[in-house]
Amino acid sequence: MPAHSILPHHAHDAPGPVLRGTPLPARRTQAGPVPDRSRPAWAVPVGLGVVLFLYTVFLSHNNGFSEAGGWLLGLVVAAVATGIGYVLVRERNAMIPEVRALSYGALAGITIGFLHSVSGGSWLRSLGIGLGFGVLVGLLSYDVFHWNQYPMRR
């Protein structure tokens, strides 16, 4: 068997991590390849961070936090979640689908569990809600990242 028949034709033929610096495939048009610049990597995490900030401030003010304490808590929670979300979105091509789904599930579960504890829930109930939500988001992410990665063939 010739050696060229076993080597992949592209830098990345199968699902899995992509090496840093490997160019992603570009869409082809009649004028040539067009790089995928549909949205910047920071758009979704910043949007969700703003919503998380406002919701955390709302919950903290309704549950006995001081004015400055509520705003500070909201700012810290939004900054941490936005930073982690940005790293996950930016490095999404370097992770296999299982690790990516686990990461998104962990971020969502920890965030929802913490928000439930800020709203006045017990630590055990917050843990259960965060764990349940994290597992649900992880499974849905796995379905999107792994099973729906390639279009169905007819």
Q: Check residue 21 and give its pLDDT.
A: 67
Q: Which residues contact 117 (CB under 8 A, 6 or more apart)?
A: 123, 126
Q: Which pLDDT does position 41 carry in this prediction?
A: 79
Smallest Cα–Cα separation from 101: which of 126, 138, 63? 138
Question: What tens digit of pLDDT does each residue of 141-153 get?
Answer: 999 887 766 555 5
Q: How far apart are CA 46 and CA 60, in angstroms?
A: 21
pLDDT greater than 50 at residue 154: no
CA–CA distances in Å: residue 68 to residues 50, 65, 74, 78, 150: 18, 8, 10, 15, 49
pLDDT in tens, 53-102: 999 999 999 998 999 999 999 999 999 999 999 999 988 888 888 999 99
| pTM for the full predicted model | 0.70
pLDDT tens figures, 127-140: 999 999 999 999 99
**Nearest-angstrom CA–CA distance, 41 and 123:** 34
**Cα-Cα-Cα-Cα dihedral sign, residues 119, 120, 124, 125:** negative
